[in-house]
Structure 1
Amino acid sequence: AEEQPVEPDGPLPGSDNNQEKKVRLSPAKMSTKNSTDLVEYVDKSHAFLPIIPNTQRGQLEDRLNNQARTIAFLLEQAFRIKEDISACLQGTHGFRKEESLARKLLESHIQTITSIVKKLSQNIEM
């Protein structure tokens, strides 16, 4: 079966001719379209993101810089603590199997936490 072009049911309520034109489709037509195509944007000349005034932009940049410094400090502190704990664990060698197993488990947990913190840091930087 050949696909016929879908005619819109009309403009969305509250839309002006001067604004970006969006097209509303009936439920019957929606069921035959992709969910990503339910609202069709006709005019793509407008920017996607809103314009941010310079005063707000400066405040946002300051907040991001403060957040970056805080994250860097916390990461440095976490790695320092990890190194301290690892050094303590390596310095106290127990003679029992239980102590050895507990030490290995704790080191494994520390490595897991460190890798999670690194991943979170990378995600925040993106």
Structure 2
Amino acid sequence: MDLERALSVSASGMAAQSVRLRVVAENLANRDSTGNAPGAEPYRRHTVTFANRLDREIGASTVQVSRIGTQPGEFPERYEPSHPAADERGYVRTPNVDSLIEVMDMREAQRSYGANLSVIETTRAMLLRTIEALRG
């Protein structure tokens, strides 16, 4: 049934966006997590990669999280000679988390989650109307 497909596809989208929201929350929570010793690596931003997956049972493509990785690149530095993780120059390596990017990712994930929820609600309403029509 096509309505079952719509429910499954939307549910997979909601699950994937939930993972994305959790990763964004983790990134924001660790945006100030530096190392404890000179030269120690601070928190590295995590990223989510999605992939299409053919669900043979329902005969439709769904979305899933294919991996949670880390963002490569250099860490920003700030001058703070009294910090325990400061190097010989007095600089501390800070996480490569940009709060603005995280908030944008969070909003996009929320919108995608909400869109999938709307599809589920609409599909549910259609199923209920169909059941009522069959009873009447």
Q: So what's the TM-score if we normalise by structure 1?
A: 0.36
Which structure has more relative contact order (CA 8 Å, sep 6+)? It is: 2
User: Structure 2-normalised TM-score?
Assistant: 0.34
Q: Which structure: greater strand fraction?
A: 2
Decide which structure has greater helix share.
1
